[in-house]
Amino acid sequence: MNKETSEIKSAKHSPWKDVGISDPRARLKSLSDYASMVELDRNIPPQRYYRSGVEMIRMADMCMKDNDLEYAYILYVKFITIFVEKIRNHPQFNTVPLKDKEYNQQTLRKVLPKAEELKKQLLEQYQAEYNKYVEDIKEREKIEKERLKQEELKKLREEEERKNKLAALAAVKAAKAAMTASVTSPEDGKVKKTSSVSSRPLVSPSSDIIAQTSREKPTVDRSTKPSLLCDSLTLRDVVLPTKLMHNFLMLAFTNTTNNKETCGILAGKLERNKLVVTHLLIPEQTGSPDSCVTHNEEDIFDYQDQHNLITLGWIHTHPTQTAFLSSVDLHTHCAYQLMMAEAIAIVCAPKYDETGFFILTPEYGLDFIANCRETGFHPHPTEPPLYTKAKHCKLDVTAVIEVVDLRRK
C-alpha cells in the first residue's frame, strides 16, 4: 500500500504538558509554541496538506464537543500555521485547484475567531487551576507547620518524662539507702530505722505540656498533592468491534485465495475521549502477494466528509506470511500515526490464524521512519524496535461495524 509519508511532522510527545501548573500565560505560550511546530515536506503534493487540513478541523470540532480544549486548540493553531504561514511557500502551490483554495479560505475565516476564543477559555482555565494549586500549597504548608509544632511538643514531653524518670530513680536509691541505715538512741539504746523519704510526691509532670500534647496529630492526605508532570505518551483508547476482523477477512477471501493482499481504512469518531472505529472503508485497489496499492482515494475522502468520519488507522492482509509490519508497511503507517498518535495498523494473517495490532514506537520508531528516505522494500535495524503491539486497542464484542466497499465492480 503506497501511501504518502508524513504530511505534518509533529513531536512524538507533548512537551507543553511538562510546564505543569505554572504561570497561566507561560503555560499558554508553551501550548501555542508546540502547536506552531509544523514543517512542510516539499516532496509531498500540496493537495495532501489541504486534505489533511479537512480532517484536522473535523477532529478539532470533535474535541470541542468532547471538551478537550487543549487538543482542539493545538489542531486549530496547526491549521492556521500551515495555511496562513507555510503553504504558499510550497513549490507546487499553484497546482492546487482553485475550489480547494476557496474552501480552505472559508474554513480559515471560521477557525481564526474559534482559536482566539479558545485561547481566552484556556487562559481562564489555567488561571483557575493555578489559583487552586496555590491554595493547595498554602494548605499543605499550614498542615506541615502544625505537624512540626506537634513534633516539637512531643519532644518536650519526652524530655520532661525522661527528667521525671531520672528524678524518680534517684529518689528510690535514696530511700533504699535510708532504710538500711541504723541510728542508736542514747536514751534506750535501741536501734531505730529512719526514712528520709517524704510522703509527698517528688515530681509533678507539667499539666500544661500534657494538655498540649493530648491533641491528635493531624493527618496529611498525600493523594491530594497535584502532579506537575503529565505522562506525555499516554494514548487514548481505540475501540474496535470484535467482528471487524472477521468481516474484513470474509471480504478479502477471494484475494487471499489468489495470494493477493487486501487493504482497508479504519474510520470513526471521538466519543468520551475514546476513538471508536465505526466504519471499515474498502478503496479501489490493486493487490499483489506482498503489497497493496490504492486508487481513487477521493471516493474515501468524499464518504468521510459526508459522514463526518476521521481516519483512525488501516488494516490489510498477509495472505501467505505471518502478522508483522514490513518496511513498506512501516512507511505507510508513519503517515497515519504522525497525523494521529493513536492511529493503528492491523495485520491479518489467515494462513497462520494470526492478527496483529501495531503502532510505531513513539520514542524511536516514529522519528526513524519519518526521516528514512528509502522507498520500496528495504532493510531497517531491528534494535531498538521500530514498532510494537498497540496496547491501547480495546475490542468490543457488542460494537457494530459498517463495511463500505467502494471498489468498482
The CATH number covering residue 32 comes to 1.20.58.80
What's the whole-model pTM score?
A: 0.62
Check whether residue 219 and residue 242 sit in a common domain: no
Length of the chain: 409
Cell triple for 27: 503555560
Instruction: Say which residue, 266 or 16, is predicted with more confidence.
Output: 266
Does the residue 233 lie in any domain? no
Question: pLDDT grade, residue 252 (50/70/90)?
Answer: very high
Instruction: Say which residue, 79 or 409, is predicted with more confidence.
Output: 79
**Arithmetic mean of pLDDT, 131-156:** 88
**Arithmetic mean of pLDDT, 240-264:** 96
Q: What is the DSSP code (8-state) at residue 226?
A: P
pLDDT at 18: 58
Check whether residue 212 and residue 259 sit in a common domain: no
pLDDT at 180: 67
Question: pLDDT grade, residue 84 (50/70/90)?
Answer: very high
pLDDT at 109: 95
Does the residue 346 lie in any domain? yes
Which of 193, 228, 263 lies at the terminal end of a domain, its last residue?
228
Answer for the pair 77, 27: CB distance below 8 angstroms, yes or no: no
How far apart (Å, rounded) are the C-alpha atoms in residues 226 and 236?
A: 22
Burial of residue 372 (number of CB atoms within 10 Å: 0-12, 13-18, 19+): middle
Q: Which domain holds residue 118?
A: 21-228
Answer for the pair 8, 34: CB distance below 8 angstroms, yes or no: no
Query: Is 50 exceeded by the pLDDT of residue 30?
Result: yes
**Arithmetic mean of pLDDT, 305-321:** 94
Check whether residue 186 and residue 270 sit in a common domain: no
Does the residue 14 lie in any domain? no
Query: Is 80 exceeded by the pLDDT of residue 176?
Result: no
> To the nearest whole number, what is the mean pLDDT of the chain?
82
Question: pLDDT grade, residue 372 (50/70/90)?
Answer: confident
Does the residue 256 lie in any domain? yes
Per-residue burial over 91-117, b if 16 or more Cβ lie within 10 Å, else e, is eeeeebeeeeeeebeebeeebeebbee
Question: pLDDT grade, residue 17 (50/70/90)?
Answer: low
- For 153-161, the CB contacts below 8 A with 24+ separation are 153/209, 153/212, 153/213, 154/213, 156/209, 156/213, 157/209, 157/210, 157/213, 160/205, 160/206, 160/209, 161/205
**Is the backbone of residue 171 left (phi > 0), alpha (psi -120 to 50) or beta?**
alpha
Question: pLDDT grade, residue 340 (50/70/90)?
Answer: confident
Answer for the pair 362, 344: CB distance below 8 angstroms, yes or no: no
Helix (H, G, I), strand (E, B) or coil at 9: coil
The total number of structural domains in the chain stands at 2
Check whether residue 137 and residue 281 sit in a common domain: no
Check whether residue 44 and residue 174 sit in a common domain: yes
Query: Is 50 exceeded by the pLDDT of residue 343?
Result: yes
- DSSP string for residues in 145-209: HHHHHHHHHHHHHHHHHHHHHHHHHHHHHHHHHHHH--EE-TTT--EE------SS-S----HHH
Which of 195, 228, 261 lies at the terminal end of a domain, its last residue?
228
Does the residue 9 lie in any domain? no
pLDDT at 238: 97
Check whether residue 270 and residue 154 sit in a common domain: no
Check whether residue 134 and residue 245 sit in a common domain: no
pLDDT at 174: 75
Please write the tens of the pLDDT for every residue from 86-125.
999 999 999 999 999 999 999 999 999 999 999 999 999 9
Check whether residue 221 and residue 277 sit in a common domain: no
Instruction: Say which residue, 409 or 158, is predicted with more confidence.
Output: 158
Give the CATH number, domain containing residue 384: 3.40.140.10
Question: What amino acid occupies position 337?
Answer: Q
